[in-house]
Amino acid sequence: MKHVINLYKQHKITVDGYIETLIKSFPADYMLHSKEILENHKFIQLIYAVDGEFRQHTPIVCRRERDGRHIGSDKRHYFTKMELNANGFYISNPYIHYRTGKASISVVQFVEGYYYVFDINLIFLLEDLKLIEYNRVYDKLRRGIYWIGSALLTLVSVALIGYGGFIFFKLMSMFNDAEFLHDIFKSIIAITLGLAIYDLAKQIFEHEVIYESFDHPDDKQYKVLGKFVISIVIALSIETLMVVFKIALDDYSQMNSAFYLMIGTTIMFVALGYFYKTINTTPTKEE
């Protein structure tokens, strides 16, 4: 969203000029032709008119509805700091729209004693002007796939956490001294892996489904990967301890295997530390 707003600010003169020229080309009675205007210009989210005393004069016309509940309401607070330019237009700063939750701007034109308000979706506007690459069909498909994937990962994480809890409570109710260490470590590993997978699913859902982003920070994917790898390394370390204890209690002849496993886990720790050191010292594009 920040990228979209910054892009608009970079091209503000061009974009504002396009908006003014476009609105001037509309049929004279905007409200009478509001449905046609909304259908032909997807970036316009709604239209309504306010009279000279700043009272709402018409219903709010959206693409799918006409809301007439606020006709006659006082809109003065929206217009107190508004200054029309030489062409009779006012274009607001970008904001998050209360109906759509998208980055938007409001455009006001004063015509024959009335203020006509157009709320414009910045993403669709910049797409229409070819200033960003954004395909709505592909975006919906991508979000849907990520939503399904993150939901399935969440179910897997819940199953693992539930399995770990089941083993633990079963161990407490049917205490078996011979298998206590093995079962308790198995419970810890299942719960740890479940939490790691849940954290991965949460990161995917937040970054790919909920929040719409057109820029890709250099460290975003590294942070997601790093948190997941940390959980895996923790689980692997617990598994290593379990193997070492089991071999120490049962069969010393397999101690070399435990030693190699510990070396492998240590190498992963060192590699993870180097990974974090690298991404923290690498300058970003803005720097």
Label residue 44 exposed, middle or buried (CB < 10 Å: 0-12, 13-18, 19+): buried
> What percentage of residues in the chain have a pLDDT greater than 70?
84
pLDDT for 1 equals 63
pLDDT at residue 232 above 50? Answer: yes
Amino acid 285: pLDDT:
46
Q: Half-sphere exposure of residue 209, counting CA atoms within 13 Å on the CB side?
A: 14
- pLDDT average, residue stretch 225-236: 73
- Provide the pLDDT for residue 63: 83
Residues 154-211 have pLDDT tens digits of: 999 999 999 999 988 888 887 666 567 677 878 887 887 888 788 888 878 877 777 5
Asked if 46 contacts 107 with a C-beta cutoff of 8 angstroms, the reply is no
* pLDDT digit string, tens, across residues 106-138: 999 999 889 999 999 988 888 888 887 666 677
pLDDT at 88 over 60: yes
Q: What is the pLDDT of residues 36-58, one digit of tens each?
A: 999 999 899 999 999 988 999 99
- Give the per-residue pLDDT at 56: 93
Superfamily of domain 2-128: PAS domain (3.30.450.20)
Average pLDDT taken over every residue of the chain: 82
pLDDT at 108: 94
Q: In the chain, what are the domain boundaries?
A: 2-128, 136-281
Supply angle C-alpha 69, 75, 76, rounded to 5.
Answer: 160
Average the pLDDT over 54-79 and give the result. Answer: 88
Note the pLDDT tens digit of each residue in 240-258: 777 777 776 666 677 777 7
So what's the pLDDT on residue 233?
78
Measured CA to CA, the distance from residue 58 to residue 116 in angstroms comes to 10
DSSP-based helix, strand, coil % in the chain, nearest 5: 60, 15, 25
H/E stretch holding 282: none
User: Whole-angstrom Cα distance, residue 31 to residue 28?
Assistant: 9
Q: pLDDT at position 286, please?
A: 43
Rounded to an integer, what distance in angstroms lies between the CA atom of residue 91 and that of residue 84?
Answer: 8
Question: What element of type H or E holds 29?
Answer: none
In terms of DSSP H, where are the helices of 111-254? 122-128, 136-173, 180-204, 220-250
Specify the pLDDT at position 137. Answer: 75
Residue 287 in this model has a pLDDT that exceeds 50: no
> Kind of pairing, strands 44-50 and 60-62?
antiparallel
State residue 47's pLDDT score.
94
What pLDDT was estimated at residue 109?
94
What is the average per-residue pLDDT within 207-236? 65
